[in-house]
Amino acid sequence: MNKAELIEAMAESADISKAAAGRALDGMVQAVTGAMQAGDTLSLVGFGTFSVKERAAREGRNPQTGETIKIKASKIPSFKAGKALKDAIN
């Protein structure tokens, strides 16, 4: 499913226009992004939790040359599915 299909499904489910569903989806994405940029976690009970995890600095290998390279520490987005979502899938 892509963004357009998700917007269409949201519009049908909520009985709203596709334009309104698109604005709602964009607002949700901005809210999640903003919370994660601030270092907060966002929990949607039954659906899951969005959070930011720290990835430590490490050494890697350039696959073309085999040379050892240093990879800097970074922050990565993370999502952990909630129980209700897991149960719905299984």
Domain count, the chain: 2
Do 33 and 53 reside in the same domain of the chain? no
Do 36 and 47 reside in the same domain of the chain? no
Do 11 and 22 reside in the same domain of the chain? yes
Do 84 and 70 reside in the same domain of the chain? yes
Per residue in 66-86, pLDDT (tens digit) is 899 999 999 999 999 999 999
Distance, CA of 10 to CA of 13 (rounded, Å): 5
- Return the pLDDT at 87: 93
Range of the domain at 32: 1-40
Do 27 and 63 reside in the same domain of the chain? no
Extract the tokens encoding 24: 């709602």
pTM of the model: 0.75
Do 34 and 57 reside in the same domain of the chain? no
Distance, CA of 36 to CA of 51 (rounded, Å): 6
Q: Residue length, the chain?
A: 90
Do 90 and 58 reside in the same domain of the chain? yes
